[in-house]
């Protein structure tokens, strides 16, 4: 389909192409955010600061730290799987 054929089909195919582009863009952004370690590291630093300030008990700190470290491990595993697929 040449330029004029594409131009004639634009009213029919344009919205479909836009939906496809939008879906692909949203999926890529969601994956990028899901594989970002930054928020988890920030939460670990915040947790440490709160513990050092005496806002958390050692048990509470250990429980929350454990959960954050599990999330970090899961993100790193997903990254490894993702890089293995490419």
Is 47 found in the same domain as 19?
no
Cα–Cα dist 60/27, whole Å: 35
What does the pLDDT read at residue 61? Answer: 98
Is 72 found in the same domain as 41?
yes
Is 64 found in the same domain as 42?
yes
Cα–Cα dist 42/20, whole Å: 34
Is 78 found in the same domain as 46?
yes
Is 24 found in the same domain as 50?
no
Is 23 found in the same domain as 2?
yes
Is 43 found in the same domain as 83?
yes
What does the pLDDT read at residue 4? Answer: 77
Which mean pLDDT values do the consecutive 10-residue runs of the chain (86 residues) have? 78 87 95 94 98 97 98 94 77
What does the pLDDT read at residue 9? Answer: 83
Kindly state the percentage of the chain with pLDDT values over 90. 72
Q: Which domain holds residue 29?
A: 1-34
Is 50 found in the same domain as 78?
yes
Contact 44, 85 (CB under 8 A): no
Contacts of 1 (CB under 8 A, 6+ apart): 9
């Amino acid at each position: 389909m040449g330029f004029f054929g594409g131009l004639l089909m634009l009213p029919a195919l344009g919205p479909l192409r836009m939906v496809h582009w939008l879906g692909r863009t949203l999926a890529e952004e969601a994956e990028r955010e899901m594989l970002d370690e930054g928020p988890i590291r920030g939460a670990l630093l915040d947790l440490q600061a709160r513990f050092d300030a005496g806002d958390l008990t050692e048990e509470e700190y250990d429980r929350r730290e454990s959960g954050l470290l599990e999330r970090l491990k899961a993100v790193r595993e997903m990254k490894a799987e993702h890089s293995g697929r490419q």
